[in-house]
Structure 1
Amino acid sequence: METIDNASHSAHEAVDKIANAANQAAEAIGEKEAQLKNVEQQLMENCRGYVRDNPVTSLGIAIAGGFLLSRLLSGCPSDRK
C-alpha cells in the first residue's frame, strides 16, 4: 500500500509541476500579446502620421506596391504565349 501511496504522491507532484509550468507559459504569452498590441498600435500611428505628412509619396508607394503585388499574383503576361 505504501508503494501505491508513493506513486500517487509522485504523480501528483508531477502534475502540479506541469500545471505550474503551463500557468507560467500562459502568463508569458499574455504579456507578449500585450506588448505586440502596443507595437502594432505604435506602427499604425507612425504609418498614419507618414501618410498625413507625405500624401503624394504615400500614394506613389501604394500604387507601386499594388502593381508589384498584381504582377506577382497573376504571373508575367509576356510569359503566356
Structure 2
Amino acid sequence: MDTPSSSSSTSSTVTNGAAGNPQKLVERVAQTAHDTVDRVAAAAGPALEKLRTKTTGAQETLQSKADQLGAMQEEWITSARNYVRENPITAITIGVLAGLVIGRMGRSD
C-alpha cells in the first residue's frame, strides 16, 4: 500500500536521478557534443579533401599559365629588340608618331 511517505520517496529518487547529479548530466551532454563533432568531422573530411585537390589543381594550372605568359613576354621583348635593331629608322618613326597621338589625346583643346 502506498503511503504518502513512500510516494514522496519515489518522487525524490527520480528527481535526484535526473537533476540530483549534475555532474552526470554535464558528462552526458559533453559526450553527446563530442559524438556530434566527431560525426561532423568525419562527414566533412572527404569534402575537404576533394576541395583541397581541386584547389591544388587550380594552383598548378594558374602557375602553368603564369609561366606561359612570362615566356610569351620574353619572346615579345626579344622580337621588339630585333625589329628595332633591323629597322632603326622605322622604329624611331613609329615611336614619334605614337608620342604625337598620345600627346594629342592628352590635350583637351
TM-score interval, smaller chain: 0.7 to 0.9
Superposed displacement of residue 17, structure 1: 1.0
Q: Distance in 2 between matches of 1:49 and 1:23?
A: 39
Matching of residue 18 in structure 1 with residue 51 in structure 2: yes
Deviating more after overlay: 18-27 vs 6-15: 6-15
Superposed displacement of residue 6, structure 1: 4.0
Q: Distance in 1 between matches of 2:51 and 2:106?
A: 46
Match of 1:47 among 42, 59, 80: 80
- TM-score of the superposition, structure 1-length normalised? 0.82
Q: How does 1:1-81 map to 2 (within 5 A)?
A: 4=36, 5-75=38-108, 77=109
Among all aligned residue pairs of Structure 1 and Structure 2, give the percentage whose two residues are the same amino acid: 25
Highest RCO, 1 vs 2 (Cα 8 Å, sep ≥ 6)? 1
Superposed displacement of residue 16, structure 1: 1.1
Structure index of larger Rg: 2
Q: Distance in 2 between matches of 1:74 and 1:13?
A: 61
Partner of 2:60: helix, strand, or coil? helix
Superposed displacement of residue 70, structure 1: 1.4
Q: Residue type matched to 1:7 in 2?
A: V
Q: Distance in 1 between matches of 2:62 and 2:75?
A: 20
Where structure 2 has 5 or more consecutive residues not aligned to the other structure, the ranges are 1-31
- TM-score of the superposition, structure 2-length normalised? 0.62
Q: Could you report, residue by residue, the CA deviation over 1:27-60 in whole angstroms, capped at 9, with x for unpaired residues?
A: 1111111111110000111000000000000000
